[in-house]
Amino acid sequence: MNSKTHNHLDIGSILSEKGISRTNFRTKLVNYFYSSNKSLSVDDILKYFNNSINKVTVYRSLVSFENNGLIHKVPDTNNLMRYSLCRKEECSPISHNHNHGHFICYSCNQTFCLEGVKYPEIISMKGFYVKEFKLTAEGYCKECYKN
Amino acid sequence: MNSKTHNHLDIGSILSEKGISRTNFRTKLVNYFYSSNKSLSVDDILKYFNNSINKVTVYRSLVSFENNGLIHKVPDTNNLMRYSLCRKEECSPISHNHNHGHFICYSCNQTFCLEGVKYPEIISMKGFYVKEFKLTAEGYCKECYKN
DNA sequence: ATAAAAAACGCAACCAAGTTGCATTTATTT
DNA sequence: AAATAAATGCAACTTGGTTGCGTTTTTTAT
Ligand SMILES: [Mn+2]
Ligand SMILES: [Mn+2]
Ligand SMILES: [Zn+2]
Ligand SMILES: [Zn+2]
């Protein structure tokens, strides 16, 4: 078990550590995030729980997770929101630091953070005062392109 | 009057040239695009026409304009669609070629095409097969930042 | 210029994603 | 264990956008 793998106990304590209430649903939800390694839409989550949970609860849990530095938003090209686990190095309950784009695979839905290029710098060089930006790319990842 | 300025007659013939029906509303709409030099949301357009036009008509006109290479979509960071005139060099009734991002000013709503960087190449270098992508930046343009 | 064909328009109804208020249940603090 | 705070479910609502269909306007063919 490497350092990036978490068992149930670990994940439960992640919630506590981040100051998120350790409810039944939220524990299962954070487990879903860790086990799927994909960006999740609200619809993904509702289906995963067989619509046994109210969508309002899902939205509010996601807001809480985001505010506490556990996940971040990943908009896709169809104006639909997805959510993806934050990396420890970048995010904390205090602030997010996602100055990079995301790639989403049509086939496997995995989400890749595009760290290589720091977009805000590129843009501010042109004389714009940038407050927000987002880059999303979609297509097929290496693995899925083979098949 | 430079080459980028169009009077009413010019704009009317733009519609015909592109194969778009020359209706009363569409003529006024394309004029609005040319005179405002901003990206327009459906809401902007409805307000401009004092809600005298049906929103369905607005949406269908925009689809037609887009299909005929007259305008292109500019998504903002709040998952709202905006629309902006295409440049002749890039777009035709046959195909759009917007492989660049956009900057939208919070204050004046002007839209700037960010031509400098060709994003798809950057991403495909990393081994992804990119089918779609978008970059949007928002903030304040040079002019508005001064004030 | 006129008639036929095609496209645009308005209306009403609908959809999907997301939000809000409030009463009830569950978790955390003391 | 009691008091307090937070999470949940429900119903109702909002916003951005879509669909079907009958009527009007524009385009095309004669
Ligand atoms: Mn990321
Ligand atoms: Mn552009
Ligand atoms: Zn894939
Ligand atoms: Zn500006």
Following DSSP, what letter does each residue of chain B receive, concatenated? Answer: --TT---HHHHHHHHHHHT----HHHHHHHHHHHHH-B-B-HHHHHHHTTT-S-HHHHHHHHHHHHHTTSEEEEE-TTS-EEEEEPPTTT--SS-----SEEEEETTT-BEEEE-S--HHHHHHHTT-EEEEEEEEEEEE-HHHHH-
User: Which residues lie below 8 Å from residue A84, measured CB to CB, with a gap of 6+?
Assistant: A38, A39, A40, A71, A72, A73, A74, A102, A111, A113
Which has the closest alpha carbon to A36: A48, A27, A24, A25?
A: A48
pLDDT tens track for B11-32: 778 899 899 999 999 999 999 9
Q: Cβ A123–B137 below 8 Å, yes or no? A: yes
Question: Is residue A109 within 8 Å of residue A115, measured between CB atoms?
Answer: no
Question: Is residue B119 within 8 Å of residue B113, measured between CB atoms?
Answer: no
> What residue in B sits closest to A75 (Cα-Cα)?
B79
| Tokens 């209430």 sit on residue | A21
> What residue in A sits closest to B111 (Cα-Cα)?
A128
Chain A positions with Cβ closer than 8 Å to B: 75, 77, 79, 81, 101, 103, 106, 112, 114, 116-117, 119-120, 122-123, 126-142, 145
- pLDDT computed for residue B1 by the predictor: 39
SS3 category, A1: coil
At residue A29, what is the residue type?
L
At residue A84, what is the residue type?
S
- pLDDT computed for residue A124 by the predictor: 67
Least confident of A64-73, B40-49, B74-83, B124-133: B124-133
SS3 category, A3: coil
Which residues of chain A fall below pLDDT 50?
A: 1-9
At residue B62, what is the residue type?
L
Average pLDDT over residues B93-111: 78
Average pLDDT over residues B33-54: 94
Please return the burial class of A105, using the count of CB atoms within 10 Å of its CB with bins 0-12, 13-18 and 19+.
buried
B141 interaction partners in chain A (CB closer than 8 Å): 128-129
**Whole-structure pTM value:** 0.83
Q: Is the pLDDT of residue B123 over 90?
A: no
Closest-approach nucleotide to residue A68, Cα vs C1' = D6
Please return the burial class of B129, using the count of CB atoms within 10 Å of its CB with bins 0-12, 13-18 and 19+.
middle
Q: Is the CB of B46 under 7 A from strand C?
A: no
Q: Cβ B137–A128 below 8 Å, yes or no? A: yes
User: In terms of CATH architecture, what is A11-145?
Assistant: Orthogonal Bundle (1.10)
Average pLDDT over residues B93-102: 72
